[in-house]
Structure 1
């Protein structure tokens, strides 16, 4: 008999080892959608993106960070946030995290729920991968990127894995574990209950 207080969580780690492996999205949104780098690190803006994109898909690990901890993360050399905008409104983002030996992790990627299903995700992921591969061109002390990787899990959005595979990522590790069941927090307290009403 299964435990109603836990879930079985599968996590997949995926990688791309050459920029030539990237398969760009064939569809792109209209000209009203643009992508820009948030060049001025802002804990408030990054927390907004994190909570708004991940609130319904169990992103909780950063919600308890203090402002100082957000500042520390965002000011690390090579950390970049690329944001998709629809006519000036943030629609989603990609956060790149540089690591040793030329690795760059796409540590966060996703869209705010109202912007899903409009071809923005494939295009944003394509641009995020390109920016991961050319990260050293913007950070002179950074060695060239040799590997771009990420992880996704069975709690992520239903199209996440398909998007990663279509862009050319390959799975290199799979892990399954039992995890306590927790409610999705939504982008603000009470948002989940509002959405269900």
Structure 2
């Protein structure tokens, strides 16, 4: 397929093996009042030396339905170096000793802190653990005197509840972008059945189709 400029007022075909999503950026500039129930069944553990196999397994369990691939494309050296960054903090919520989610905060810019990853395993969704985990994240971020802004981005490959959840806890959208990336299912990093709401289209010649109109 011949490459062409991205059409901001119409349709643009993607090359085979690529996937595109709409990204929404959200921010908060003051700590919100977030009421989260006490959860004696949950604890939060900071991980300073992650076991890469355990990390990747948990990353897949949380993110496979939502096409999380950012860490799957990294080799051991790259992933170890990234997780060891002194400004990056990884936390695991645990229930009965089992990790049921992931919280990753990036303090590289101490005034503008990024919520790099936030998610739960499928079995933990819907029981209030997400709101509890977000309350813990807000405590960690806004207890730092330097914090002026807390931001995150989500996309149309993510859970359809994600955007509403972030807004409900105090984030406000401020920017959109289009992300185009290699489809991780094409490279075998995820099964072809992953993220069925964003169907996998194998690389190959596509038949000629009539031009779409809005």
Q: Which has the larger radius of gyration?
A: 2
Length, aligned pairs only:
183
- Residue by residue, what CA displacement relative to the aligned partner does 1:104-162 show, whole Å, maximum 9, x if unpaired? 111010001111111111111121122122357xxxxxxx2221111001111122112
Which residue of 25, 34, 37 maps to 1:13?
A: 25
Which residue of 83, 92, 95 maps to 1:86?
A: 95
Gaps of 5+ in 1: 137-143
Name the CA shift for 1:78/1:124 in 2 (closer, same or farther; >3 Å).
Answer: same
Q: TM-score, with normalisation over the residues of structure 1?
A: 0.77
Rounded to whole Å, the distance in 2 between the matches of 1:116 and 1:99 is 29
Q: TM-score, with normalisation over the residues of structure 2?
A: 0.72
Aligned partners of 1:184 and 1:192 also within 8 Å: no
Gaps of 5+ in 2: 1-10, 197-214
- Residue by residue, what CA displacement relative to the aligned partner does 1:30-52 show, whole Å, maximum 9, x if unpaired? 42222221233443333233222
Q: How is 1:1-197 mapped onto 2 (pairs within 5 angstroms)?
A: 9-19=21-31, 22-27=32-37, 30-100=39-109, 102-135=111-144, 144-176=146-178, 183=185, 192=193
What does residue 140 of structure 1 align with? none
Rounded to whole Å, the distance in 2 between the matches of 1:73 and 1:7 is 25
Give the root-mean-square deviation of aligned CA atoms.
Answer: 3.1
State the secondary structure of the residue aligned to 2:71: coil
Once the two structures are TM-superposed, the CA of residue 173 in structure 1 deviates from its matched residue by 0.6
TM superposition outliers: structure 1 runs of 4+ over 4 Å: 1-8, 177-186, 188-193
